Amino acid sequence: MNDAIASCGAILYYLNETKHDKIKHITSISRIEEERYVWLDRFTIRNLELFNSNHENGKCLVDVIDHTVSPMGARLLKRWLALPLKDIDQINERLQIVEYFSYDHELSDALSAKFGLIGDLERLISKAAAGRVNPRELVQLKRALYLIEEVKEAASKSENPQLVNVANKLNTCIPLRERLEKEIKEDAPVVVSKGNVIGDGVNADLDELRAISGSGKNYLLQVQMRESERTGIPSLKVAFNNVFGYYLEVTNSHKDKVPNDWIRKQTLTNAERYITPELKTYEEKILGAEEKISAIEMRLYEELVRDMADYILPIQQNASLIARLDCLLSFTSLAKNNNYVKPVLNDGFAIDIKEGRHPVIEKQLKIGEDYVSNSVYLDNDTQQLIMITGPNMSGKSALLRQTALIVLLAQMGCYVPAQSAEIGIIDKIFTRVGASDNISSGESTFMVEMNETASIVNNLSNRSLVLLDEIGRGTSTYDGISIAWAIAEFIHEHPKFKAKTLFATHYHELNEMCNYFARIKNYNVSVKEVNNKIIFLRKLAEGGSEHSFGIHVAKLAGMPKQVIDRANDILKKLEKDHESELAEGNKPSIKIKQDNKDDLQLSFFQLDDPVLKQIREEILGTEINTLTPVEALMKLNEIKKMITGK
């Protein structure tokens, strides 16, 4: 705590030393109270893709849930997403307002429309405090204060006591609003030096000088008409340039009519230019007026901005209240447009989600395609750790992430994508999903995986939610199985904490853990095989799975048929060897036969060569009776290439 105070003091001292002393908008400094918010470490924020997608052109959670219409609301929503609440009363306060907005459509639509016009109050008042606000921004501030009065009036008529309380806290700042209305013109320019910023009737000297400056054209026209009549020069003109100021121009045909009191200043090809004492006096008056007008406007504008310091706190409070309502309206819009439901938060330890959906993935589906929802139940007594097996692409990772996101949304005070959700408060969310190298730090994929996992097992609590996806896959099979088993066992057998865990794995050996540990249950993401093809059902079912269907996924990815066929042959041989070795009580292994130094191959290739199989299939698939001599030669050449590779 002392270090934090010292750091803040150093920052303020630095600002003062660098002459950034206009910091009245910094009204207080406080620390983030970690005990109030859910722990989300940097790995979890990245893995759940809360603020940035890990894939090009992908969408993150904030892209989907942000329906705010004001800049303050958008910033607050990101803060809420990074700091979900642990206090049930505070969560329920948010949920109750969202529920009220979902019923009172007239109020929610009216408020949303007004919030979209208010602008960025926080930024405006900060610029005013620093003396950098421009006239057009003050006009926007004035409009915002009028809109806040309308918001206050609408919210005060609400039947929801929390909204009435917000209405009571909103400050319309009427003295400031009236002063802005009077002193700043509606069409004020962006830059004060351009003039025409301060309204009429604010300063008597300013009004007089503007009258002088504004009547210039009429005065010059009167001079032109009077001198033309006096001299009899019909083509007389009064003009201005930066060299001589105001002058009278006479064509050569009338220069003999020029009176003696005119002073010649310039001779042109077809005309002469003259000045008079009257024009010089008027010129000094006009140019002096413009300079004085600029000086008076600048002084009055600076006084107004300086006096706004008294309204920094009220306007910041207004911005905070508007941002809060904007976020809750965003939650209402999100729930309405995506069929979300109100979660139930309690002090228990169970997570019971019925037919939950991933909020981001369901928005990326093709039109007419429905997201396959799944139910998840976890508690500390009967089903603490769920071991999830299933094929690649079956949806295991999505299931893990959607569980965490539903919990996170619920503790933000937002409705959730599910049929129903009862959630015992979670205080920490940990994730270990995906694979990535940290080459710049010299860390391999496996090292990154172990770092993240170590952070999890060293920081468990009784209310933690842990998501583990493919632990141990970055090393050898037996090392990976051993590490994954040990981690799952550690979480289950922890002497103090029973962290609720979803553990997705391809190691089917881990399904055996349910026979040794009471609170570990096996589930699988089911698939269906039809005509040797796989259909992903993406539905969670009880019991373990014994197949990964990796070769099927390779086929879907577009792998050549020759590679797929060979992979199937190798798989059958390995499974056969595995079964025979298990029957003999030996450790499973892959046998390697070395015929010579340059020939290293799997021993079963000798008697069951896939090339011979392919040749057999090519011959059997050829229609001999319809084959022309040329086609026969081409087919023979293809078979030769299979054997020789040339």
34-192+308-337: CATH topology: MutS, DNA mismatch repair protein; Chain A, domain 3 (1.10.1420)
pLDDT for residue 173 is more than 80? yes
* CA distances from residue 536 to 390, 436, 553 in whole angstroms, order as listed: 10, 26, 11
Q: What confidence score (pLDDT) does residue 151 get?
A: 94
Distance (Å, whole) CA 325 – CA 211: 48
Amino acid of residue 164: V
Residues forming a β-bridge with 275: 263
DSSP 68: -
Distance (Å, whole) CA 350 – CA 422: 8
- Per cent of the chain over pLDDT 70 is 83
Do residues 275 and 246 touch, judged by C-beta distance below 8 A?
Answer: yes
Q: Name the residue among 542, 541, 494 with its Cα closest to residue 517.
A: 494
For the whole prediction, is pTM greater than 0.85? no
Phi then psi for residue 103, to 5 deg, are -95, -40
Q: What confidence score (pLDDT) does residue 240 get?
A: 82
pLDDT for residue 217 is more than 70? no
Q: Name the residue among 126, 9, 113 with its Cα closest to residue 75.
A: 126
Cβ atoms within 10 A of the Cβ of 62, count? Answer: 17
Per-residue pLDDT reduced to its tens digit, 472-487: 766 667 777 888 888 9
Residues forming a β-bridge with 351: 378, 423
Q: What confidence score (pLDDT) does residue 18 get?
A: 74
CA terminus-to-terminus distance, the chain: 75
If one compares 515 and 553, the residue with the highest pLDDT of the two is 515
Q: Name the residue among 402, 417, 400, 401 with its Cα closest to residue 331.
A: 417
Cβ atoms within 10 A of the Cβ of 209, count? Answer: 22
* CA distances from residue 539 to 57, 301, 354, 375, 467 in whole angstroms, order as listed: 27, 66, 13, 9, 18
Quick check: do 34-192+308-337 and 341-548 share a fold?
A: no
H or E segment to which residue 389 belongs: strand 385-389
If one compares 623 and 529, the residue with the highest pLDDT of the two is 623
Most confident of 93-97, 214-218, 442-446: 93-97
* CA distances from residue 300 to 18, 171, 248, 297, 409 in whole angstroms, order as listed: 27, 25, 38, 5, 49
If one compares 219 and 364, the residue with the highest pLDDT of the two is 364
Buried b (16+ CB within 10 A) or exposed e, 237-249: ebeeeeebbbbbb
Per-residue pLDDT reduced to its tens digit, 16-52: 777 666 666 666 777 677 788 999 988 899 889 999 8
If one compares 219 and 554, the residue with the highest pLDDT of the two is 219
- In this structure, which long-range contacts are made by residues 408-411, counting pairs with CB atoms below 8 Å and at least 24 apart in sequence? 408/38, 408/40, 408/48, 408/50, 408/81, 408/84, 409/65, 409/343, 409/359, 410/91, 410/343, 410/345, 411/38, 411/84, 411/85, 411/86, 411/91, 411/345
Query: Rounded mean pLDDT of the chain?
Result: 83
Each domain of the chain, given as residue ranges in start order, spans: 1-31, 34-192+308-337, 205-303, 341-548, 560-605, 609-646
Binned at pLDDT 50, 70 and 90, residue 547 comes out as: low
CA-CA-CA-CA dihedral for 35, 36, 38, 40, to nearest 10:
-70
* CA distances from residue 218 to 37, 195, 209, 225, 291 in whole angstroms, order as listed: 70, 21, 15, 11, 20
Chain-centroid distance of CA 546 in Å reads: 39
Phi then psi for residue 169, to 5 deg, are -85, -20
CATH of domain 205-303: 1.10.1420.10
Distance (Å, whole) CA 10 – CA 12: 6
pLDDT for residue 365 is more than 50? yes
What residue spans of 273-348 are helical by DSSP H?
A: 277-307, 312-338
H or E segment to which residue 108 belongs: helix 105-118
Question: What's domain 341-548's architecture?
Answer: 3-Layer(aba) Sandwich (3.40)
Binned at pLDDT 50, 70 and 90, residue 606 comes out as: very low
Do residues 519 and 363 touch, judged by C-beta distance below 8 A?
Answer: no
Q: What confidence score (pLDDT) does residue 589 get?
A: 44
Distance (Å, whole) CA 511 – CA 605: 32
